[in-house]
Structure 1
Amino acid sequence: MIAEKCTFTCDRLASHRQVACCQTHCVLPHRRNELRCYSLEHLDQEPLSLTGHHRDVSSMVFGRRDAQVLLCSASADYVIVWNMDVCQRRADDGLIAAGTVIGTLLGDVVYLAFSSSGERVAACTGTTVTILNSQREQAMCTLSGHLGPLTAAEFCPWDEEILATISEDRTFKVWDLKTESVCYQSFVLSASPLLSCIFVEKSRQFITGSSDGQIWCFSFPNDHNCHLVAKMDNAKMHKRYLRQQETLTRQKGNMLWIGSSDGLYLLDLDSSDLLIALCFRDYPELSIAMAGSWSISSGWEGQMLCLVSSLFTPTVSLLAVRPADAKDDLSQCLEKSLSSGGQGISVFPSSPPLLGSPLNADLRRKEPNRPKRKGQHRGGVKEQPLVFQSKVKSSGYSSSPRRTMFSPKTNAENTSRSKETHRRKVGYILRDYPIDSSAPSVHQQQLSVTNATVCSLQYSGDGKQILCGLGDSSVFLYKSNLTGSPAVYTGHDSAVSSVGWSHCRQWWLSASKDRTLRVWPSGSSEPAITLSEDMLSHPISGAQFYYLDKFLLVACGDSLHLYLYHVDHTHDDIKRYKQRSIVKLAGRFKTTSATDITALSAINDFFSHVVLQCGADRSIQVLDVNQGRVVSEWPDAHSRAIHCIAQNKGSAFASQSPDSHNLFLTSAVTDGVKLWDLRTRRCVRRYENHLNRCHACDVAMSPCGRFIASGSEDNCVYMYDIRSSKYLHKLHRHSDTVLRVAFNPATPELLTGTLDGRLGVFRPGGGPRLSPDPSGAQCGLPTSPL
């Protein structure tokens, strides 16, 4: 995994100097003002000696210009650029290697940076950064504005006119070199100085880290208005990594190597997870025990080269790292576990229900035993006494045979008209969901419901109706266009925390904090089924229909209840107070750690054995109802208890790749939103732009599977593209914290509910449309767990 290729001994400590390494060379200070450059392909040969400085060399960096390797070194007297090919030819001819002086008496240069084209060099001295021409002595511009000494600077690789600088004042600035002005200045990020920074061209992000192990990841759009995407703590990530090493199987993605004082770390920028940790204490054969400075470069044959200086000894080591070896070992372990009897997890069942499975339970309704009348038979005409009267039929002999007479179809025109009228009535519902449409971003409508908080929202499967559970223990039923007066349903004694439609849209349910659940027939003002508080010992944290409306799933305390039910449609005005419907407990499943369930989700649109549940201990558990046990558990999935879980359930109006249904979202206070994949059993992306510090703000996934909407405490809704961690739109026009979000399954439309009882509707505007992923592999996810 990690090997020490060679070790160099210096004449003094190099722990706080900028060391340099590239794919072909590494360079070290020698005798204070000299440099020794080694060829990595021929480490046994004599190094190239570079002389020209009169004072101590303080920093150095490699760059490229026209496929030529350049080295820039700096001291208090000169800044010199060396062409390595020219210097090597002069040394082979017996001449002294010479470089080009591009700066004189700039001061103590602490950091150097080459532009991607190799035409410019940024030199950091004190609170000033000087932009130099790399071919001749010319100071192109001088930039100053930080309140503390600069620690690093980097050119933007896709726009050389942009430069980012970090400082001990704990802020970073983005400079426009054309106008020589600041185009973005950050807030104070940490209590410790910022030490390093880097641009990631693949994801268009800017990343900086501080001396206390904190890492900030910012999006870097074209307008340079940076937005914080993620904040990570290296120590906390390392602890989580030690607890979850068996889950670290991932193909190549948006990765970043981080050099620290105690080792080397591989970070996944999409999910903010630590993939590989290489600590010096685990490799006692290395010469380095504590690192002072790092230079990380890609090598050859899958290797990564690191030049690292020791913190306490005058030693510099060249390390070769093969990250593919660790990934191969983890993949082999997973393959071995799967071949030994383990099964990959998916929302789609791979086998029929077992014989003793709770899914095979059936509700047997006993028919009342009615006494048969004397002479009554199952078929035919009832036997009657024979009499000789013309008006009384005897035994059915005089009854005429029953025949179906032909009747011509005379209302053909009216039938066609009714069909046309039906088409006009349903309108856009008949059309497919436009999967290539842009995300909802334009405010269309706002409605004040009541002064009560909107606690739950859900569209019906056809997108025509909306259920709205309120904090005043009532439920409002609206049309999807929010016109007309809503139907009001009461009966609960506390806030309605959950509402849900059945797949057949004939019933819907409401669950409350008062430990009651009610199932309402569509169009009825009274519930057909009531689960009272004597049946449930704890408040309901989640409830829904399950297995194509066969069961009711109810999360209560540390248990998940599976109920069979039968809704009785008969009406009896005299005995309407008596519940004629039937409810039967088919199964009860407890969490593995006996922790309370905080969120629940299962797919009801097709047969699925998987139920996802989140615990108060911050864990995610995957329950296989067919087997009646928890088949997978992810501890410490968030830093706080998860309050919302949303699966990619799709819609009857939109088609997706089957693998995309294995994606689901979780949300926790102060810990953002995470996207998980059941196939790889780990987090694959993270979204943190929205504000969520105390309220349980919902998150939802669009029917096309391309967009994510999240409520926020800054009175906005954040709309994300599922393939990127930065948000697309920030939807305003709300008067209070946005608690609930829901997508219309039939048309691109977003419904929002706020803390002060208002509903809002957003639809797509005229912005650019994102093309759907034709392969169906969202977020660049693998198509298999390996």
Structure 2
Amino acid sequence: MDGCGEGRGTNRLMVEKLSLSCDRLLSHLQLACCPSHCASPLQGKDLLIHCLLDPELKALRLTGHHGDISAMVFGTGRDPLLLCSASADYVIVWDIRRCYRRTREGVVASGTVIGTLLGKVVHLSFCPCDERVAACSGAKVYILNSNIEEVLSVLAGHLGPLTAAEFCPWNKDILVSISEDRTFKVWGLKMEQILYQSAVLSASPLLSVLFLEKSRQLVTGAADGQVWSFTLPEDHRCHLVTKLDLHKVQQRHQRHLDTVAPQTGGVLGITPDPVEMAKPVLRICAYDRWLPDIDHGQQSWVWMGSSDGLYLVDLGTSELHMTLLFRDHPNLSITMAGSWAMSQGLDNSMIFVVTSLFEALVSVLEVRLLGSGSVDNLCQHLEGLSVMPSAPLIPESPLNAELKKKGPKPPTKTGKRGVKEQPLVFHTQVKSSGYTQSPRMTMFSPKTNVQKKTPGPTKTKRKIGCLVSDYPGDTAAPSVPHTNLSTVKTPTPVCCAQYSGDGKQILCGLGDRSVLLYKSSLTGTPAVYTGHDKAVSSVAWSHSRQWWLSASEDRTLRIWPTGSPEPAVTMGGDEKFSKTIRGAQFYYLDKFLLLASGPSLHLYLYHLDNTQDDIKRYQQRSAIKLTRCLETKSGTDITAVSVINDFYSYIVLVSGADRSIQVLDMNTGTVASQLPDAHSRAVHHITQNKGSMFSSQTPDSYNLFLTSAVTDGVKMWDLRTLRCVRRYENHLNRCHPCTAAFSPCGRFIASGSEDNCAYVYDIRSSSYLHKLQRHSDTILNVTFNPATPELLTGTLDGRLSLFRPGNAAISVALS
């Protein structure tokens, strides 16, 4: 093996530290690297160790194998630093420091043989404490003692040859193996038995496996580019958290770059792929270094090595954050990879050893992410979008509009010619003349002997409803069923539901064209409001709680006074709206009405007057005026709308039928930004983290919002960067418009599901926290009580369920 170059590559992110020419093809061998050293075969039977910290140090050559070396791996510890190598005849463990010392003394360095005649070993791995070694040979896993030649156990159960096996870092007695039979198995080493066996995951063999210790997850990748992430709980019953296709993720990332930040293509060296090709996941490695704007407690960033390059993927969001392809780095000596070895480097860097697929070459690459320049450049050009206003209203802003109220007409000015002489006539009907009354004989009669009222004790009026307590920020998530009832006798879907701002009342829009008003405890008989001709699509409370509105599939909107059986305003119809009203709600602290119909977003000023005149009782005294009508950029129909009405905000979020998300700035009346292909299907529900009047969150928390799409789960986005920051896919959503909601404290997320369960997630984790069962049908709607830790669910067959936390009893501070 000859050194062909060092320090090649001009890109500041990826540098080729070492390029080695070999005497034979090493395309599918397991090579080894660590932060300080890398290892590769030499002439088939020997090992060549290079020191990465001191490039001038002469490479260490180790001999001892009689057959061709097929796999090697470094230990997890650094003192001593162990290297295990395997061939068909021996499995040998080397102490690298001891080997360097013996070589300097002029003595042949030797290792410890721990296995003999195990067959062709394709993969090796050390346990977390370097006491045991797992060797994959054929369809068996040999567990070896790393100190002496001893086979501790033999694990057999796969139907095909094994491709890899790894020890669990938080439990050294757990091992996971993957095979060409397209399954993985979780082994208990104490009892030497299978604790969990997966189903067939893919049509292609599984090639790589990784443990994420911080999130307690298991990640495996296949030859067709499919990647799965599973939880590994204490009972070892794995649950799928995320599934992604590396090729589709790259295509979505490229479309995002083309639309949001086209000028960054040259900086990151990303060019469109001219030929569609498979992207086998040859190796996966966790990336635990510091990156800005990342929750390090739940970080799930991984490097994936494929045949065409490297991919940095966030498994929590299924989003691609960086692509380093060989075709974008012509100075590298390798153009197509056969195998990868990965390790955390020093100073926020990564070390990669890659073999060429078609040539006898081995290359050592170093990738260094310099601060936020490489990962966060994608959205630096975006203006500082934020839910919180950062500037006053501009003079021509639509939000400055005011509704002119009708007042008394001013007196008309008339000239001298306009004055007509009219006779002064007094009639008996004019009571003010005084001619019909008898003359007063006495001007007044004073009251005498008037007793003064002694002031008694004054009673102070206290509004009990105003004495509220803060939302408990440290309570557990609602998970215990408390109340379950049916809204109607015949099954009808609960299309929408919303709590009032004080948490005392609940509005439920049903598929039978009615709206029900419940107490928050779901006790008593609900008030029934009818008038729509089709199913109610949305309901919303005003901030003052004096009004609420309902919109229906009949293209009408009604605004109801609280406690009144008749609406104050009815607007819409086929002549006004050509398509169904979506996302009707109050906006800008009840100043405006906002609704979407087709591709248009309508902003209305309104004046509501609920007084009645006995003579003109059928004349509507309220007024509504269209202020602005905004169109989506692509002209696509709007499927969902979300705004915040609890405080002043210029931002309106809309989703389109073309799978896009658009951010509208109502201060300027324009589309501020657009995110194409946010989901694989059109978004049917979008909601923001609005908090409540009973809880307070950090200002940045209000920039988070959720989107739901059929077959594509729930995504959480950050408005500041317009990037997905977390993905939730444990629930089932294949055909019905299941919704999601934030808790008022901002710690939990709830989602409906088609498996008759509601799922509660910790906002920092993609795996569910609670699975709320005991439902009779698909859960369409979920909503949190803004005042107390309660969760309300509405099902497809018209049932409402109330859940509360499973800890101590809650003291509800509502009258």
Q: TM-score w.r.t. structure 1 length? A: 0.90
The answer to whether the 8 Å contact 1:438/1:767 transfers is no
Aligned positions of 1:590-605 closer than 5 A: 590-605=631-646
* 1:695 corresponds to which of 722, 729, 736: 736
CA distance in 2, matches of 1:558, 1:66: 61
Residue of 444, 458, 461 corresponding to 2:482: 444
CA distance in 2 between partners of 1:688 and 1:95 (Å): 58
Does the alignment pair 1:244 with 2:284? no
SS of the aligned residue for 2:54 comes to: coil
- What stretches of structure 2 of length at least 5 have no aligned partner? 1-12, 265-290, 413-421, 425-430, 811-815
Aligned-pair CA distance for 1:399: 11
* CA apart distance, 1:654: 1.1
2:675 counterpart of 1:634: yes
Following superposition, the deviation at residue 188 of structure 1 comes to: 1.5
CA distance in 2, matches of 1:307, 1:705: 43
Structure 2 residue aligned with 1:150, among 162, 169, 175?
162
For residues 587-615 of structure 1, what are the alpha-carbon distances to aligned partners after superposition, in whole Å with 9 as ceiling and x for unaligned? 11100110111110100011111111111
| Residues 707-786 of structure 1: pairs in structure 2 closer than 5 A | 707-766=748-807
Q: Look up the SS of the partner of 1:714 in the other structure.
A: coil
* Aligned pairs (5 A) from 1:340-351: 343-351=383-391
Separation in 2, partners of 1:516, 1:392:
66
Letter in 1 for 2:801: G
SS of 2:708 mapped into structure 1:
strand
Alignment check: 8 A CA contact 2:379 2:721 kept: no
1:89/1:491 CA distance change after superposition, 3 Å: same
Aligned to 2:17: 5
Q: 1:359 aligns with which of 392, 399, 404?
A: 399
Contact 1:15 1:310 in 2 (8 A): yes
Please state if 1:181 is matched with 2:226.
no
2:81 match: secondary structure: strand
Q: Which residue identity lines up with residue 670 of structure 2 in the other structure? A: R
Give the counterpart letter for 1:328 in structure 2: G
Contact 1:477 1:487 in 2 (8 A): yes
Q: Distance in 1 between matches of 2:129 and 2:399?
A: 64
Relative distance call for 1:528 and 1:328 in structure 2 (3 A) is same
Q: Alpha carbon RMSD of aligned pairs, Å?
A: 2.6
Distance of 1:612 and 1:392 partners within structure 2: 76
Q: What residue is the counterpart of 1:391 in the other structure?
A: 440
Match of 1:782 in 2: none
- Supply the distance in 2 between the matched residues of 1:664 and 1:28 (Cα, whole angstroms): 48
Out of 136, 148, 173, the residue aligned to residue 136 of structure 1 is 148
Query: 1:250 Cα deviation (Å)?
Result: 5.4
Change (3 A) 1:747 1:334: closer
| Partner Cα distance (2:312, 2:454) in 1 | 78
| Cα distance in structure 2, aligned partners of 1:363 and 1:122 | 76
| Alignment pair present for 1:268 and 2:314 | yes
Match of 1:218 among 209, 212, 230: 230
Question: What is the aligned partner in structure 2 of residue 776 from structure 1?
Answer: none
Question: Aligned letter for 1:665?
Answer: L
Write out per-residue CA displacement over residues 165-217 of structure 1, whole angstroms, 9 at most, x where no aligned residue. Answer: 11111111111111212222222111111000011112221110000001111
* CA distance 1:473–1:392, shift in 2 (3 Å): farther
Of 91, 100, 103, which residue of structure 1 is paired with 2:103? 91
Structure 2: distance between partners of 1:599 and 1:399: 73
- Distance in 2 (alpha carbons) for counterparts of 1:406 and 1:661: 60
Structure 1, residues 20-56: CA drift from partner, whole Å, max 9, x if none?
1111111111222111111123334432111111111
Task: Verify: 1:664 aligned to 2:705, yes or no.
Answer: yes
Deviation at 1:688, TM superposition (A): 0.8
For the residues of structure 2 that align with 1:129 and 1:664, how far apart are their CA atoms? 46
Alignment of structure 1 residues 547-566 onto 2, 5 Å: 547-566=588-607
Structure-2 residue corresponding to 1:778: none
Q: Does 1:289 align with 2:368?
A: no
> How far 1:64 moved relative to its partner?
3.9
1:322 aligns with 2:371: no
Letter in 2 for 1:224: H
CA contact (8 A) 1:496 1:513 kept: yes
Q: Secondary structure at the match of 1:68?
A: coil
2:321–2:375 CA contact under 8 A, matched in 1: no
User: Mind listing any 5+ residue stretches in structure 1 that lack a counterpart?
Assistant: 376-381, 770-786
Q: 2: CA distance between counterparts of 1:407 and 1:122?
A: 98
Q: CA deviation at 1:225?
A: 2.1
Q: Which amino acid aligns with 1:725?
A: S
SS at match of 2:392: coil
C-alpha distance in structure 1 between counterparts of 2:92 and 2:807, whole Å: 53
Is residue 105 of structure 1 aligned with residue 117 of structure 2?
A: yes
- 3-state SS of the aligned residue for 2:97? helix
Residue matched to 1:29:
41
* Distance 1:409-1:740 versus aligned 2 partners, 3 A rule: farther
How is 1:453-468 mapped onto 2 (pairs within 5 angstroms)?
Answer: 453-468=493-508
SS at match of 1:740: strand
Structure 2 matches for 1:634-653, cutoff 5 A? 634-653=675-694
2-side partners of 1:690 and 1:668: how far apart? 12
List 4+ stretches of structure 1 deviating above 6 A: 370-375, 385-389, 397-401
Q: After superposition, where does 1:608-619 map in structure 2 within 5 Å?
A: 608-619=649-660
Q: Is the 8 A contact 2:219 2:227 kept in 1?
A: yes
Distance across 2 between alignment mates of 1:459 and 1:526 = 21
> In the alignment, residue 66 of structure 2 is paired with which amino acid?
H
Question: Superposed, which structure 2 residues align to 1:152-551 within 5 Å?
Answer: 152-245=164-257, 251-252=293-294, 254=299, 255-324=301-370, 327-328=372-373, 337=381, 343-369=383-409, 390-391=439-440, 409-410=455-456, 412=458, 415=459, 419=462, 423=464, 426=465, 430-450=468-488, 451-533=491-573, 534-551=575-592
| Residue number in structure 2 paired with 1:779 | none
Q: Deviations over 1:526-574 (max 9, x none)?
A: 1111112122121112100001111110111001000111111212355
Displacement of 1:223 in angstroms is: 2.7
Which amino acid in 2 is paired with 1:614? S
Would the aligned equivalents of 1:520 and 1:528 in 2 still touch at CA under 8 Å?
yes
Of residues 575-584 and 659-668 in structure 1, the stretch that sits farther from structure 2 once superposed is 575-584
User: Is 1:70 matched with 2:70?
Assistant: no
Shift in CA distance, 721/392, structure 1 to aligned 2, threshold 3 Å: farther
Residue 32 of structure 2 aligns to which amino acid in structure 1? A
Structure 1 SS opposite 2:373: helix
Question: Equivalents in 1 of 2:469, 2:441: separation in Å?
Answer: 61
SS in 2 for 1:598: strand
Residue 575 of structure 1 deviates from its aligned partner by: 4.1
TM-score (normalizing by structure 2): 0.87
Partner Cα separation in structure 2 for residue 356 and residue 407 of structure 1: 60
For 1:119-130, what aligned pairs fall within 5 Å after superposition?
Answer: 119-130=131-142
Give per-residue Cα distances to partners, 1:302-330, cap 9 Å, x unaligned: 321110000011111111111227x4256
SS of 1:612's partner is strand
Deviation at 1:343, TM superposition (A): 3.6
Preserved CA contact (<8 Å) 2:114 2:144: yes
Letter in 2 for 1:85: R
Number of residue pairs matched? 744
